[in-house]
């Protein structure tokens, strides 16, 4: 499978803001449909079909996820007004915003980061951190069964659920996990204080990506970010809580100062 970053239209024909969505690892551009359908009339939306899509072979990993998102945005006919990322996609957007080259966004653009992962600089690169991330990876794969299976997920026998998760983890393999882990490690080096694009960061208490004080650390180091941890969100809130996320997105786009920055 050749790596690529292709825009896929979700909503067209209006004259409202252009929104670009960036999916997470082992996900796909179609996962943004529940959220895109809740945008106001006239808004336009595209989803980047990125090389870490479901079933990929990780040949893309020699280029950073942020660079791949930059390529996808550069392929659009106009700068985006709102850039929305999830999981690895959100972390890629974070890296793009903090990078040396400005992304292809409008001057007054907003960013919405759903369940990004972040390593504060004071968190060491240790075997204990590696093992914790490995456990968190399994937990995220388990949470992903809900969006993938829909109502059938609640009917799964626990033993069958464990078997499915084990097979998914095995298919992704060590290269996939190590690619994700390397992107997680690199977030500690991002100059987040230099980001000027207002960003809304949303995650759930049940989501391990910003657990253990990482949300608070991100809020401290990134003044441009409003960080919110919602008790009822999970890692896949853009699907499971699409209506709530859409409301938060629209409130933030209308007024980036709608809430004080906190975690």
Cβ contacts of 253 within 8 Å, gap of 6 or more: 17, 81, 82, 110
- How far is residue 134's CA from residue 174's CA, in Å, rounded to a whole number? 10
Q: What is the pLDDT of residue 5?
A: 85
- The structure's pTM equals 0.91
215 contacts 203 by C-beta, under 8 angstroms: yes
pLDDT of residue 1: 52
Torsion of CA 206, 209, 212, 217, to 10 degrees: -130
pLDDT of residue 59: 94
What pLDDT does residue 155 have?
67
User: Per-residue b/e over 73-109, b at no fewer than 16 CB within 10 Å?
Assistant: beeeeebbbbbbbbbbbbbbbbbbbbbeeebbbeeeb
In the block, which residue shows the tokens 């006919």? 77
What's the pLDDT score for residue 20?
Answer: 97
User: 3-state DSSP call for residue 31?
Assistant: helix
Give the Cα separation of 255 and 186 in Å (integer). 31
**Contact between 49 and 85 (Cβ < 8 Å):** no
Per-residue pLDDT in tens (0 to 9) along the chain, 263 residues: 567 789 999 998 888 999 999 999 999 999 999 999 999 999 999 999 999 999 999 999 999 999 999 999 999 999 999 999 999 999 999 999 999 887 878 889 999 999 999 999 999 999 999 999 999 999 888 887 766 666 666 667 777 878 888 888 899 999 999 999 999 999 999 999 999 999 999 999 878 889 889 999 999 999 999 999 999 998 999 999 999 999 999 999 987 665 543 34
């Amino acid at each position: 499978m050749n790596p690529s970053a292709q825009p896929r239209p979700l909503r067209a024909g209006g004259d409202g803001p252009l929104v670009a969505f960036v999916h997470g690892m082992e996900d796909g551009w179609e996962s943004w449909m529940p959220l895109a359908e809740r945008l106001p009339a006239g808004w336009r939306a595209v989803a980047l079909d990125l090389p870490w899509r479901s079933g990929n072979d990780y040949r893309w990993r020699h280029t950073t996820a942020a660079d791949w998102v930059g390529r996808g945005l550069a392929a659009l006919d106009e700068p985006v007004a709102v850039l929305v990322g999830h999981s690895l996609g959100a972390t890629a957007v974070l890296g793009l915003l903090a990078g040396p080259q400005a992304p292809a966004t409008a001057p007054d653009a907003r960013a919405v980061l759903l369940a990004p992962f972040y390593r504060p600089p004071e968190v060491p690169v240790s075997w204990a951190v590696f093992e914790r991330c490995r456990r968190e990876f399994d937990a995220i794969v388990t949470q992903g069964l809900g969006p993938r299976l829909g109502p059938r997920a609640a009917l799964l026998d626990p033993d069958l659920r464990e078997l499915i998760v084990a097979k998914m983890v095995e298919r992704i393999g060590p290269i996939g996990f190590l690619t994700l882990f390397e992107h997680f490690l690199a977030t500690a080096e991002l100059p987040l204080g230099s980001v000027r694009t207002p960003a809304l960061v949303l995650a759930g208490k049940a989501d391990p990506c910003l657990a253990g004080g990482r949300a608070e650390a991100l809020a401290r180091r990134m003044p441009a970010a409003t960080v919110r941890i919602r008790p009822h969100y999970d890692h896949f809130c853009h699907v499971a809580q699409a209506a709530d996320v859409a409301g938060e997105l629209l409130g933030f786009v209308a007024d980036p100062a709608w809430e004080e920055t906190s975690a």
